[in-house]
Amino acid sequence: MSIARVATSMDNGFATRLRASLSPRLLLSELLLKQWFEPVIPFTVMLALLAWFSATIPNYAGLENLLSLMRLYAEFGFVALAMAFSLISGGIDLSVGAIFAVCNFAMLYFLYVLDLPVWAAVPATLAVGAAIGCVNGLLIGYLKARPFLTTLVTLIILRASVNLLNERYATVFATNSVDSDVWDFFGEGYVLGVPINAATLIVVLLVGHLFLSRSRFGWHLTAIGANRKAARHAGIQVERMLLFTYVLSGMLCAFGGVFYAARQTSTDSTTGVGWEFQALTAVVLGGVSLSGGKGTVWRAMIGGIIIFLLTNGLVRMGIPGYVTSGAIGLILLAAVGVDVKWAKNRGKAIQKIYVNPARVPLAAAPSLLRGSSSPYAQNDRLIGAEAIGLDQVEGPEDVILDRQDRLYGSTRDGNIIRFSGPSFEQREVFAHIGGRPLGMQFDRDENLIVAVAGMGVYGIRPNQEVYKVTDETNRTWYKLNDDSRLRMADDLDIAPDGKIYFSDCTTRYEMTTNSLDIMEGRPNGRVVCYDPATRRTWTVLNHFYFPNGICVSHDGRSLLIASTSLCKVFRLWLGGPDKDKLEVVLDEIPGNCDNINRASDGNYWLALVGIRTPAFDLAMRKPGFRLRMVKQVPTDEWLAPGLNHGCVLKFTERGEVLESFWDPTGISHSTLTSMREHKGYLYLGGLENNRIGRVKLEGADPSWTGYEAYWGSKQRN
Amino acid sequence: MTINASTAGERSQSPSLVTQLLKKPSQEQIVLLITLSLLVVFSATLAGFAHLANLLNLVRSISILGILGLGMGLIVISRGIDLSEVAIMAGSWSVALIEIQRGLPTFWAAILALVIALMIGVANGVMVAFVEAPPLFVTLAAGFVIYGAAFWYAPSWVVYAPKPEDAPYLLYLGHDYLFGIPVPIIVFALAAIGMQLFLARTSIGRFIYAQGDNPEAARLAGIPLRPLIVLEYVLVALLAWLAGLVWIGTTGSMQMGIVQGTYIFDVILVVVLGGISLVGGRGGVFSVVVGCALIGTLFNAFTIMDINSEVQNIIKGVVLLAAIVLDNWLHPRDEETARQGE
Amino acid sequence: MLHRSWRSRTAQALLGSALLALPLGALAQDEGGTKTARELRAEYDKDIKGKTIAFLPIALGVPLQDEWNRVLKQEADWRGLKYVVRDPNNNPAAMQQALTALVNDKPDVLIVQNPSVTLLMKELKRAEGQGTHVIQINMSSNYKSDAFVGADWVEVGRMIAEDVVKQCGTGSGKSGKVQIVQGELAAAASVDQIAGIMEVFNKDKAIKVVSNQAAAWDANNALNTTATVIQQHPDLCASVGFWGIMESGAAQAIRNAGKIDQVKVYASGEGSTLDCDQVNQGNFYKFLSYTATEQGHELMNTAVMLLQSKDKPGTKHLALYTRPLWLDKTNANGANCFALPQSQASSPVPLAPTADKK
C-alpha cells in the first residue's frame, strides 16, 4: 500500500522525524513562551532607532561614534539601573538624579578641595551615595514611609543642597586641577577598546543580572516587590531588603557620579536634572513593571538606550527642539501602546498558535469483521472477564503482579493500590506517589519502578518506601523549548543490565492535555534511559510520535516501542550489529496502541486504548480540519478513535499478529491500556476503568510470572 | 495609609472627629496641624505676616496650584496620574492667546482653549482606558507631544494676553477682586466645593473612589470603567483649562517654558502631601487644600524673610520630611492590611 | 563632509600671508581700486565660502536664541557659509551629546551658548585642539576659547544699579527699598549680575535690598514673590528683574497692587518686541537690552574674522562685549526691538476675523 510505504519512510530516520517536529508556527509559539522574548517590542524599537539614525546621520553606525555614544550613555545607564532596582523591589526612587548630582559634586570635592588621592576619593564617593540611599532606605524600609513621596522630598533637599554647594565651590573646581593618570583614565580611558565607564557598566550589569536572577538576595528583592505580604510570611526580612535596595540604588548613582565627574569635571545646577523621570520612562519602557516584582537589568538597559538614542539622534538630526519633543512623545506613546497590547495578547497568541497539527497518513486499517479469518476479528473473549476490586480502583492504567501473587494497579489518585488474598479481596494503598502513576515494572531487587506522568520515574521499595529515580533528562540543545523536565513518563521497562527505559510521550503537553498531542500528530515524544549504575539519564530516541508502551524483548537485545498516534510498534536495537537502528515491527494496527508486555510463550501482548475509525483516520490526514476542531469545538465533542471497545493483541517478535481478545461492548473493559500475564491468567488494566479484569488463558504456562521472565528461571535468552 | 484615611470622604459626617483626631490623626490632619502651628509661629515672629491682606495674598498665590491640584487629586484618587496637566494648561492657552493676537474674539478663544484641553483629555483617557497603557507613561509622553505641537503652533517662549481693558472678561478670574477678595481665591474655593460635592455626593464620584480602591471589583460591580476613566482625564483637562484662565488673568501671559520646569512636581507634591495616596481611593479635596496651605504658608513666610530659594527648598524639604516621619511614627502601617505598591 | 584636507589648509596659510600684504598694495595703487576690490573679495570668498559654522544654543524657541539663529542663518546664507544648528531643547545631557557629535564632525567655527561655566568646558577645549574655532556667547566657560561675544553681566548689573540709585538712592526722597528677581541662583549670569548690582548698591547707604529671590525664569513665580514683597513693603521703590519675560510677572503683581506708577520696574534682556511692549504699556520703567540682533551680527563678524586670520585655534582670546542699550518709552520701537518668529501654522479657526483687526 502506498500510504503504508509513505508512513514507513516517514517515521524511521531521525532527520525526517526532526523535520516533522518543526514548523514555523510551532517555533513561534515556543518563542513566545520564552521569558527572554517578552521585551521583544522595546528591543525591536531599540534596533529600529539605531538603524534609522544610522541611515539618516552620516557615520552614526561607525565604530568611533558608537564608542563615543557608549561613553556618553554609561552614566545614565547606572542611574536607570538604580531606578530599575527600586522599581523591582516594589518602590520607586525619584532621588536618583539628585543623588547622582550630589555624588558628582562629592567626587570633585574630595579630589579638588580635600586633595584626596583617587583611590580614596572613589570609595568615599560610593559611601556618600550609599549613605544617602541608606536614609531613603531607613525611611522607606523601617519607618514604612511611602517611597514616592519620600524620595520626591529627598530629591528636593538634595537638589537644593548641591546647588548651594556648587555656588560655593564652582570657582575652586575651575581653578584647581588634578594631575593623576588614574583620574584621566577614569575620564577618558578604554578597557579592551570599550570606554572605561561603559565597560564598568557592562560588568555591573552582568553582576546585577546574576544577583537578581541567581542569588538569594535577588530573589528576595523580587519577592518583596511582587508580593510583600507573602514575602514577609515566607520569612524574608522586608525592612532589611528595602534598606539594602535603596543603598544599592544610591551606590549605583554614585558610580554614575564618579564617572561623570571624571569625564566632565563639571558640576552645576543642570547635572542630572530631570534624570529621575527620564530613568523612570526608560525602565518602564524597557518592561520593568511599575507595580514591582518584574524586570531584569537588561530590560532596564534596553529602555535606557531607547531614551538615550531618541534624544541623541533627534537632536543630531538638527531638527527644532519642539519637533524633537513631539517626536519623542509620539514614539513613546506608540511604543508603549504596542507593548501593552503585546503583553496583553501574548498569552492569547500562544494559545491560538500552540497547537500545530501535522498530516499523519496512517497505514490502512485491517478489517475487524467478526467471524473472519483475520486475527483482528472481533470476538467476545473479554466480556466474561472476572472483575477484581470493582469500584475500588480509579483507572488502573497499568497492572502488575509480584512474586507473592499480589496485584498492583496504578490509579488516577496518585496511588499504587495492592490487592492480595486468594481472590484479591484485600485492598490496600501500597504507596502514595502523587502525579499520575502509569507504567510499572519490578526490578531485580523487587522494587516497583513506576513511571509517573508530571513527575518522572519513581521507585517503591518492598517496605513501601517511595524514592525518586529520575525526573529530568539532557536538554535538546537546538530546541527553544526547555525539554529537560520529564513531562509525561508513560511506560517503562527494565533491561537485563538494569537500565530503565521509559517513554516520555510528549514534551509539549501535560497529562491533562495529552490528547492535544495526538491531535497535533507530531513527533514530540521521546524514549529516555536511566542507568542506576551511573545515575545518569539521557534521551535515547528523540522526536518520536507519542511513544507509549515500552517492552524489552525476551532476549534483552532490543526495545519494543508502541506509538499511539502512528498506530505502530517499533523496535529499537539496544545492541548487536544493528545497535540504535529503529525499525517497524507492527504496521497496520486497527487501533491506538498502548502498553506492551511479555507473554509466556515468547510473544508479546499489546493493548489498544482506542479503535481506529475511518473518520478519525481521515481527520489525521487533514491538519487544517483538526486545528479548527480543537479551536472551535469543545473538548468533549472532538472526533476521537472508538473508545468504547476493549482489545488486547498478541504478536510475535517478527510482527505477526496471532490473536486478539475483545470486549466490543466496552461495558466492563473499554480503553484498555495494559495487560499482564501471570500464572495462566491475563490481568487487564484500563485508563478509565473501575476494575481490574482477569481472564483465563487456555494453554498458557501456569507457572510463568513476569518476575521470573525478567529476573528468574523463565528468562529466554 | 491606614484605615481611617480610607474614610476620608465621610469625615465631614463623622461625629467623633475630635476624639479621632486626638487619638490617631490622619495624614491630612497632621499636615493641617503643622500648617496651623506654622501660621501661629509666623504670625508671632514675622511682622506683617498676620495681616489680612497678606493672608489673602498667601491664598491667592496657591490658587492656581490648588486648582491644578484638584484635578491631579481626582486622577490620583482614581489610581491614575496626569503628568500632562501643566502642559494642557500651557498648550491650550498658548494657542488661544495666539489666536486672540490674530483677531479671534476672546470668548471664542476661550472656547478654543477649552476644546483643545478637552480633546487632549479625551486622548489621554482613551490611551489609558482603551489601549490600557500605564497612565504615568501616557501622560508623560502626552506632555512632550503637547509641548511640541503647541510650540509649533505658537513658536515663542511666552504669549501675552491682551490688556485687561481689551478683554475684561477673559482676565477677570485671575486679576480682579470680588468683595475685596482676589477672584482666584474664589475660583479655587468654588472649584474645591464643586469637586467635593462631585466626589462625595454624586454616584460618579463614589465610583471614582471605588475604581481607585479596587478597579477590578469596581468593574465587576458593573461600573463602566472605561468611560469613567475617559471622564476623569477630561475633568483633569477641564481643571487645567480653568487654572490656565486664572493664570493668564494673573500674569497676563502664558509661558510654554513652565512645561519643562518642575511645576508639575509641585502639583503632585501638594496632592500626595495631604494624604491622597498614589495607590488610589484615599484622601479627598480637603487633602489638596491642606497640602496647598502648607506649601503656600512656607512660600509666603520665606518670601517675607527673604530666604535664599535653595535654602527655602531645603527647609521645605525638611518640613515635609518631618510630616512624613510624624505620620508614619503616629500610625505605623500594618503591612498585613496595607496595599501593595503604596 | 566637514573635513578639510591638509592641502587646502596649506593653501589657506599661503593665502593668509598674501592677505596681510593686501592693505599695502591697496594704498599703493589708487588706480587699480576696482581690481583690488575684486581681489579682496576673491581672497575673502576663498577664506569664507563653503566653510562650516555650527551653532549650539541651550534651546531654540526662546526669543534670544531665535534671534541669534535668524541673524546667523541670514548672514551665513549671504556669505556662502554652511550653517548647522542643533537644538537640545533645554536638555543639558542632549546638549553635551550634540556638542560631542558636532566636534567630531570638525566644523570650522563653533558657536556655543554655555549653560554653565563648567559643563561644556572639556569639549570646547577638545574642539580647539583639533582645529575648530570656538566662539562662546553671553557666558564664557572656564575655558577661554578663541572668542567671546556677548554682554558683560557685571556691567549690565552695574548699569541697572546706577539707574536705580539715581531713582531711589540718597537724595531721591524715596524709600530706597529695592527688590531683585533673579532667574536661577546658580546661573553664572545671575551671579555676575548680582555682583555688579551689589557693588553699586553698597556704595549708597539709602538703598535697601528688601527681597532677593530666584523665580526660575517663570513669570508666575515672579508674580507670587513680588505680590508678597509689595504687600510687606508698600513703599517699594524699584524692582529689578534679570529677564524681561520673567519680570513681566513682577510688573503684573505691582500693577495689580496699583503701584505701577510708584515702583520703578527694571529688567534686562534680549530686547524683543515683547520687552518693548512691556515698556510701552508702562509695565517696565526702563529696560536694558543687550540687543540680540547686534549680538547675532557680532557673532558672525567674529567668525569671519577668525576664519580670515588663519591663526591656529586656541591661540588667542578675543572678546567682543555688546553695548547694552537702555530702552524706555521714547525709543522702545522700530529697530531697537526685534520681531519674534511667526507661527508656521495657519489658523485652524475659520471664525477668526483676521481682516478687520489688523
A545-554, B5-14, C61-70, C140-149: least confident range: B5-14
**Which residue of chain A has the CA closest to B150?**
A322
Contact B310 A145 (CB under 8 A): no
Q: How many domains does chain B have?
A: 1
Cα C336-C340-C346 angle, rounded to 5 deg: 150
CB within 8 Å of C267: residues ≥ 6 apart: C240, C241, C242, C243, C244, C247, C248, C275, C278, C284, C287, C288
Write down the domain spans for chain C: 47-151+293-325, 153-289
What's C171-237 look like in SS3?
CCCCCCEEEEEECCCCCHHHHHHHHHHHHHHCCCCCCEEEEEEECCCCHHHHHHHHHHHHHHCCCCC
Query: What grid cell was written down for B43?
Result: 504670625
Contact C349 B260 (CB under 8 A): no
How far apart CA A335 and CA A329 sit, in angstroms, is 10
Residue B88 forms part of a structural domain:
yes
Please tell me the total number of residues recorded for chain B in this structure.
342
Nearest to A251 by CA among A134, A105, A108: A134
Asked if C75 contacts C111 with a C-beta cutoff of 8 angstroms, the reply is no
Q: How far is B44 from chain A (nearest CA, A)?
A: 27
Query: What grid cell was written down for B184?
Result: 482666584
Asked if C281 contacts C257 with a C-beta cutoff of 8 angstroms, the reply is no
Half-sphere exposure of C202 (CA within 13 A, CB side): 7
> What is the reported pLDDT for A146?
82
Judge whether residue A5 has pLDDT over 50. no
> What is the reported pLDDT for C27?
52
How far apart CA A411 and CA A434 sit, in angstroms, is 10
**Which residue of chain A has the CA closest to B156?**
A322
> What is the reported pLDDT for B9?
43
pLDDT tens profile B130-162: 888 888 888 888 998 998 888 888 777 788 887
| Phi and psi torsions of C240, nearest 5° | -115, 125
Summarize the confidence of residues C351-358 as an average pLDDT. Answer: 36
Q: How far is B210 from chain A (nearest CA, A)?
A: 19
According to DSSP, the β-strands at A582-586 and A591-598 are unpaired
Coil, strand, or helix at residue A652? Answer: coil
* Residue to test with chain B: of C62, C221, C230, C256, most B Cβ within 10 A: C256
Cα–Cα distances (Å) from A321 to A411, B158, C104, in that order, read: 72, 16, 21
What's chain B look like in SS3?
CCHHHHCHHHHHHCCCHHHHHHHCCCHHHHHHHHHHHHHHHHHHHCCCCCCHHHHHHHHHHCHHHHHHHHHHHHHHHCCCCCCCHHHHHHHHHHHHHHHHHCCCCHHHHHHHHHHHHHHHHHHHHHHHHCCCCCHHHHHHHHHHHHHHHHHHHCCCCEEECCCCCCCHHHHHHHHCEECCEEHHHHHHHHHHHHHHHHHHHCHHHHHHHHHHHCHHHHHHCCCCHHHHHHHHHHHHHHHHHHHHHHHHHHHCEEEHHHHCCCHHHHHHHHHHHCCCCCCCCCCCHHHHHHHHHHHHHHHHHHHHHCCCHHHHHHHHHHHHHHHHHHHHHHCCCCCCCCCCCC
How far apart CA A209 and CA A298 sit, in angstroms, is 8
pLDDT tens profile A668-687: 888 899 999 999 999 999 98
User: Which residues in chain C touch residue B313, judged by CB atoms under 8 angstroms apart?
Assistant: none
Cα A159-A162-A168 angle, rounded to 5 deg: 145
Q: A481: which DSSP letter?
A: S
Judge whether residue B24 has pLDDT over 70. no
Chain B contact present for A160, CB below 8 A: yes
**Which residue of chain A has the CA closest to B310?**
A160
Contact B324 A329 (CB under 8 A): no
User: Which residues in chain B touch residue A227, judged by CB atoms under 8 angstroms apart?
Assistant: 340
pLDDT tens profile B215-265: 889 999 999 999 999 999 999 999 999 999 999 888 888 888 788 777 888
> What is the reported pLDDT for A527?
94
Q: How far is B263 from chain C (nearest CA, A)?
A: 10
A324-333, A603-612, A631-640: least confident range: A324-333
Chains with 3+ CB–CB pairs under 8 A to C are A, B
Nearest to A52 by CA among A397, A306, A382, A273: A306
User: Which residues in chain C touch residue A265, judged by CB atoms under 8 angstroms apart?
Assistant: 118, 121-122
Question: What CATH superfamily classification does C47-151+293-325 receive?
Answer: Response regulator (3.40.50.2300)
> What is the reported pLDDT for B335?
65
CB within 8 Å of A407: residues ≥ 6 apart: A388, A399, A400, A401, A418, A419, A420, A424, A683, A692
> What is the reported pLDDT for B113?
92
Residue-range domains of chain A with CATH: 62-295 (no CATH), 401-474+481-711 (2.120.10.30)
> What is the reported pLDDT for B6?
42
Asked if A355 contacts A373 with a C-beta cutoff of 8 angstroms, the reply is no
User: Which residues in chain B touch residue A330, judged by CB atoms under 8 angstroms apart?
Assistant: 141, 145
Range list of H helices, A522-622: 614-620
Contact A264 C122 (CB under 8 A): yes
Band the pLDDT of A512: cuts 50, 70, 90.
Answer: confident
Coil, strand, or helix at residue A404? Answer: coil
* Residue to test with chain B: of C221, C228, C347, C357, most B Cβ within 10 A: C228
Classify C153-289 by CATH class.
alpha beta
A493 sits in which H/E element: strand A489-494
Query: What grid cell was written down for B241?
Result: 483649562
pLDDT tens profile A378-433: 999 998 889 999 999 999 999 999 999 999 999 999 999 999 988 899 999 999 99
Q: How far is B256 from chain C (nearest CA, A)?
A: 10
* Residue to test with chain C: of A270, A310, A316, A323, most C Cβ within 10 A: A270
Please tell me the total number of residues recorded for chain A in this structure.
717
Percent of chain A residues topping a pLDDT of 90 = 50
Chains with 3+ CB–CB pairs under 8 A to A are B, C
Contact C231 B48 (CB under 8 A): yes
Q: How far is C104 from chain A (nearest CA, A)?
A: 8
Q: Cell 582670546, residue?
A: C317
Summarize the confidence of residues A613-629 as an average pLDDT. Answer: 91
| Whole-prediction pTM | 0.81
Residue B340 forms part of a structural domain:
no
Band the pLDDT of C354: cuts 50, 70, 90.
Answer: very low
Q: Cell 495674598, residue?
A: B57
> What is the reported pLDDT for B2?
39
Residue A671, Ramachandran bin (φ over 0: left; ψ between -120 and 50: alpha; else beta): left
* Residue to test with chain B: of C179, C231, C248, C358, most B Cβ within 10 A: C231
| Partner-chain residue, chosen from A143, A153, A336, that has the shortest CB–CB distance to B328 | A143
Beta bridge partners of C29: none
> What is the reported pLDDT for A647?
92
CB within 8 Å of C168: residues ≥ 6 apart: C174, C175, C176, C177, C178, C206, C207, C237, C238, C264
Contact C252 B250 (CB under 8 A): yes
> How big, in percent rounded to 5, are the helix, strand and coil portions of chain A?
45, 20, 35
> What is the reported pLDDT for B331?
62
Instruction: State the maximum Cα–Cα separation within chain B, in Å, rounded to a whole number.
Output: 62
Residue B337 forms part of a structural domain:
no
* Residue to test with chain C: of B51, B171, B298, B306, most C Cβ within 10 A: B306
Band the pLDDT of A97: cuts 50, 70, 90.
Answer: very high
How far apart CA A482 and CA A477 sit, in angstroms, is 9
Helices (H) and strands (E) in chain A, counts: 20, 26
Summarize the confidence of residues B66-90 as an average pLDDT. Answer: 91
> What is the reported pLDDT for B12?
45
A positions 263-322 inside 8 Å of B (CB): 277, 280-281, 284-285, 290-292, 321-322
Contact C185 B53 (CB under 8 A): no
Residue B338 forms part of a structural domain:
no
| Partner-chain residue, chosen from C87, C122, C185, that has the shortest CB–CB distance to A265 | C122
Contact C229 B303 (CB under 8 A): yes
Query: What grid cell was written down for C182?
Result: 533673579
Summarize the confidence of residues A584-609 as an average pLDDT. Answer: 92
Is C47-151+293-325's fold the same as C153-289's?
A: yes
Which residue would you say has higher pLDDT here, A340 or A201?
A: A201
> What is the reported pLDDT for C12?
57
How far apart CA A491 and CA A559 sit, in angstroms, is 12
Which residue would you say has higher pLDDT here, C268 or B336?
A: C268
Summarize the confidence of residues B173-185 as an average pLDDT. Answer: 78
Query: What grid cell was written down for C295?
Result: 549680538
Judge whether residue C1 has pLDDT over 50. no
pLDDT tens profile C11-61: 555 555 555 555 555 555 555 568 888 888 888 888 888 899 999 998 888
Nearest to C181 by CA among C221, C136, C144: C221
Provide the edge-to-edge strand list for the sheet that holds C208-214.
Answer: C208-214, C177-182, C238-241, C264-269, C286-289, C325-327
- The whole domain housing B166 covers 24-330
CB within 8 Å of A643: residues ≥ 6 apart: A609, A610, A611, A666, A670, A671, A688
C296 sits in which H/E element: helix C292-309
| Phi and psi torsions of B322, nearest 5° | -60, -45
Band the pLDDT of B340: cuts 50, 70, 90.
Answer: low
> What is the reported pLDDT for B116?
93
A positions 109-148 inside 8 Å of B (CB): 139, 143-146, 148
* Residue to test with chain A: of C53, C91, C123, C344, most A Cβ within 10 A: C91
Percent of chain A residues topping a pLDDT of 70 = 98
Which residue would you say has higher pLDDT here, B175 or A652?
A: A652
Judge whether residue A605 has pLDDT over 60. yes
Residue B105 forms part of a structural domain:
yes
Asked if A61 contacts A187 with a C-beta cutoff of 8 angstroms, the reply is no
| Partner-chain residue, chosen from C186, C227, C274, that has the shortest CB–CB distance to B158 | C274
> What is the reported pLDDT for C345?
53
User: Which residues in chain C touch residue A58, judged by CB atoms under 8 angstroms apart?
Assistant: 1
Residue B7 forms part of a structural domain:
no
CB within 8 Å of A684: residues ≥ 6 apart: A382, A385, A399, A607, A646, A648, A669, A672, A674, A675, A692, A693, A694, A695
Amino acid at site C318: L
CATH number at residue B278: 1.10.3470
Q: How far is B253 from chain C (nearest CA, A)?
A: 8
| Partner-chain residue, chosen from B148, B265, B333, that has the shortest CB–CB distance to A152 | B265
pLDDT tens profile A126-185: 999 999 999 999 998 888 888 888 888 899 899 889 988 887 887 777 667 777 888 888
How far apart CA C135 and CA A71 sit, in angstroms, is 25
How far apart CA B281 and CA B207 sit, in angstroms, is 10
How far apart CA C72 and CA C52 sit, in angstroms, is 12
Summarize the confidence of residues C103-122 as an average pLDDT. Answer: 88
Asked if C311 contacts C47 with a C-beta cutoff of 8 angstroms, the reply is no
Q: Count Cβ atoms within 10 A of the Cβ of residue C271 and give its class: 0-12 exposed, 13-18 middle, 19 or more buried.
A: buried
Most confident of A281-285, A462-466, B97-101: A462-466
Q: How far is C65 from chain B (nearest CA, A)?
A: 11
Residue B146, Ramachandran bin (φ over 0: left; ψ between -120 and 50: alpha; else beta): alpha
Amino acid at site A437: P
User: What is the separation of C-alpha B236 from the centre of its chain, rounded to a whole number of angstroms?
Assistant: 9
| Partner-chain residue, chosen from A156, A330, A336, that has the shortest CB–CB distance to B317 | A156
Cα–Cα distances (Å) from A663 to A233, A264, A382, A668, B311, in that order, read: 56, 88, 5, 8, 94
